Amino acid sequence: MHSFKGETFNMHRRTIETSEIVQPERLSLPRRSAIVAIPARNEAERIARCLSALAVQRDRLGAPITPGHFGVLLLVNNSTDGTADVARKLVPNLPYPLEILEASLLRNATAGGARRRAMQEAAERLGKGSANGVLLTTDADSLVTPTWFIDNLHHLDSGVDCVAGYIDAEPAEIVSLGASFLARGRLEDTYLRLVAEIYALCDPRAYDPWPNHRVSSGASLAVTLAAYEAVGGMPDKALGEDAAFTTLLDQRGFKVCHPLDVSVVTSCRLNGRATGGAADTMRYRRETPDAPCDDDLEPAVKTLLRASLRGFLRKAYQQDGIEQALSRLLGRGRLDRAASLPFLEMWREIEARHPKLQKRTPLRPSDLPRQIAAANFILRHVRPNWRRIDVPKDKYLHAISYASVDA
C-alpha cells in the first residue's frame, strides 16, 4: 500500500507473459482521471530521472500540484536490467500512484508496440468512455518540464483533443556530440522554425495557432480518452506510431495542437533501444555531417507552394467551392472521387497526383543556409499579408492557377 496526505493507493506488479491483454487492476485516482503511460526497456540508468521529474510538477503560479491529480503507469517491457527494481524503490517517495507492469511482449516487441500497450493499459484503467479522461505519454529517457502536466491540461481545456509537445535535446549530451553535430542541429532547427511559420500563416487553423511547431513525438503527447478511443488507440507500428497517431486524429476531424509551451528534454544517446530509431539516425548524422535531413524538409519555394495550396484548398473545401478549384488544379476530367473525400484524404491524393508537389532529393545541411535566406525573404512578404488568405470563394481559381497542371 502507498499513502500520502491521508489517501491510500493500491500498488502492485503484474507480469504479462503473452501479447494478450488481461483484465487489469485499477489505479486509484480520486480527483482527476489522468494517467501518464511510459514504456521502458533497459532504462535502469534513466528511469529515476524521468519519474522524479513527474514528482515535482507544479501549477502555473508555482504551487505543487496536489497529489492524486494523475497516476503513472510504467510498462517495463522485455528488459534485462533492473529498470523495474529502480522504479519500485522510488514508490515511497513519489506524490503520485505508480503502477509498474513487467511485460514480455512476444508480438510487436518494438518501441511503437510498447507504447501502444502502455497506452492501452492506461486507457483501460481510466474506464471506457470516462468523462474528462486524459491519457499522457512520455519516454523513459526524457525529462518533462515542471509545468508539463498543467500546461497539457490547459490546452486540452481550451478545446483541442490532442497536445503534441515540443522536444528539446538534453544540453550536455548534444554538446558532447561535437561542434559539427551541434551546428547541423542549429541549422535544421532554424529552418524548421521558418517552415512552421510558413505553414501557420498560409494554412492557418485556429486551434493550432502560431507560434507552434510541426513535430509529433511520443516523448510528449496528451490526448482525451474520447479521441483516443474514437480512432482505435495508437496505430500498430514498430516506429513512427506517434506521428501516425496525430495524423489519424487529424484525418478523423480531431483537433491537434503543437504548442511551444509544452515541452520535454530528451536523451541524445547514440545507442538506442529501437533499431532505426532516433539514436541510429543521430549516430549516422554524426558520422556523416552532410547526411540528408528529414524527408519532409524541402526547399522554401516548394514549402510555400505546398502550404499555400493546402490553405486555399482547405478554405475552398469549407466554403463548398472545392470541385471548381480541383478542376482547375488537376485538369478537367481528373476529379474522380477526390472532391467527395474528407479533406486530408483529398489532399493526399492531390499530393500524389500533382507533378509540382512530388518529393525530390532531400535537403542536406549544406543546402540550408540558402534555404533559410529564401524562407526569410518569403516571410517578409507573407507576414504583412497573411490575413488576405481569407479571400472570397470566387478568388480561389486565380489563387491556384499558377500551380495548375497545365500552367
pLDDT band at 345 (very low <50, low <70, confident <90, very high): confident
pLDDT for 394 equals 44
Closest by Cα among 204, 309, 222, 306 to 261: 222
Mean pLDDT rounded to a whole number for the chain: 83
Beta-bridged to residue 142, according to DSSP, are 266
What pLDDT score was predicted for residue 17?
36
82 CB-contact burial (10 Å; exposed 0-12 / middle 13-18 / buried 19+): middle
Q: How far is CA 116 from CA 56, 144, 162, 359, in A?
A: 26, 20, 16, 30
For CA atoms 204, 209, 215, 221, the dihedral sign is negative
CA distance 1 to 389: 59
Say how many CA atoms lie within 13 Å of 282 toward its Cβ: 20
DSSP codes joined into one string, 228-290 = HHHTTSS---SS-HHHHHHHHHHHTT--EE-BSSSEEEE---SS-SSTTSHHHHHHHHHHSTT
Give the domain 2-165+215-259 fold.
Spore Coat Polysaccharide Biosynthesis Protein SpsA; Chain A (3.90.550)
Structure confidence at residue 163 as a pLDDT band (50, 70, 90): very high
pLDDT at 358: 87
Using CA atoms, how far apart are residues 334 and 23, in angstroms rounded to an integer?
51
User: Model pTM?
Assistant: 0.85
231-282 pLDDT tens trace = 999 998 888 899 999 999 999 999 999 999 999 999 887 676 656 567 777 8
Q: Do 207 and 160 form a contact (C-beta atoms < 8 A)? A: yes
Determine the pLDDT at residue 24.
37
The tally of CA atoms less than 13 A away on the side-chain side of residue 359 is 9
Backbone angles phi, psi at 322, to 5 degrees: -75, -35
User: Which amino acid is it at 215?
Assistant: V
Q: Which pLDDT belongs to residue 46?
A: 95
* Contact (CB, 8 A) for 305 and 403: yes
Parallel, antiparallel or unpaired: strands 13-16 and 166-169 = unpaired
Instruction: Please give the distance of CA 6 from its chain centroid, rounded to a whole number.
Output: 37
Task: Give percent above pLDDT 90 in the chain.
Answer: 58
Q: Once rounded to an integer, what is the mean pLDDT over residues 190-209?
A: 96
Q: Are 249 and 223 in contact (CB under 8 A)?
A: yes
Place of cell 514480455: 104
CA distance 405 to 328: 8
Q: State the pLDDT at residue 350.
A: 85
pLDDT at 270: 67
pLDDT average, residue stretch 45-73: 94
Query: C-alpha angle 269/273/274, rounded to 5°?
Result: 110
- The predicted model gives 191-217 an average pLDDT of 95
pLDDT at 144: 97
Q: Can you tell me the distance from the alpha carbon of 358 to that of 296, in angstroms, rounded to the nearest whole number?
A: 11
Round to whole Å and give the CA distance between 25 and 305: 52
**Closest-CA residue to 339 (of 321, 351, 355):** 321
392 CB burial (10 A radius; 0-12, 13-18, 19+)? exposed
Residue 303: the pLDDT is 95
Q: Are strands 34-40 and 71-77 parallel, antiparallel or unpaired?
A: parallel
Least confident segment among 75-89, 205-219, 233-247, 316-330: 316-330
| Mean pLDDT, residues 46-62 taken together | 96
Bigger pLDDT: 359 vs 175: 175
Taking only the tens place, the pLDDT of each residue in 86-130 is 999 999 999 999 999 998 887 777 888 899 999 999 999 998 657
User: Do the Cβ atoms of 34 and 130 come closer than 8 Å?
Assistant: no
| Sheet order of strands, 13-16 included | 13-16, 98-103, 71-77, 34-40, 134-137, 221-224, 162-164, 256-257
Residue 5 has pLDDT above 70, yes or no: no
> What is the per-residue pLDDT for 359?
82
pLDDT of residue 275: 63
Question: For residue 183, how far is the Cα from the chain centroid?
Answer: 24
Q: Does 389 score more than 50 pLDDT?
A: no
Q: Where in the chain is the domain with CATH 3.90.550.10?
A: 2-165+215-259
